[in-house]
Homo-oligomer: A and B are copies of this chain.
Amino acid sequence: MSLLEAAGLSISEAAERTSLTVHTLRYYEREGLMLGPVDRSSSTHRRYSEADITWVVFLSRLRSTAMPIARIREYVALVRRGDDTTQERLALLTAHRQTVLATLDEVRTSLAAIDYKIAAYSKGNPVS
């Protein structure tokens, strides 16, 4: 960190803030998942703004709900296009929400079956 405290975070600081690795941050950028180009400090090194961090955190939320990289790219394209693509963005997120709910449901159902077996084992029942 320089004495003149540059505006923005280095990539390793960004990595720490977002719980991603520097590799993954560069990868996401290469894949076109950043809303705009990340600033470069007086040279070639990336400087992440708070807005960048906020976005990456949201991006991570999309990933942790299993939105594919390609779909995130579509969303980003809409944001970049600007001039009222808000309905499309809303539709995209709403559709994603539905698939997440469906997945949650399936996981809960499966978990119930697993719990059932756990209960059987706990009671010493013969199960496999």
Contacts and interface: CB of A to CB of B under 8 A. Distances in A.
A100 B111 CA distance: 8
A79 interface: yes
Contacts of A41: none
Contact of A97 (B64, B100, B104, B118): B118
A128 B35 contact: yes
B118 A94 contact: yes
A55 B128 contact: yes
A102 to B, nearest CB: 11
Interface of A: 35, 55, 58, 60-62, 64-65, 79, 86, 89-90, 93-94, 96-97, 100-101, 103-104, 106-111, 113-115, 117-118, 121-122, 124, 128
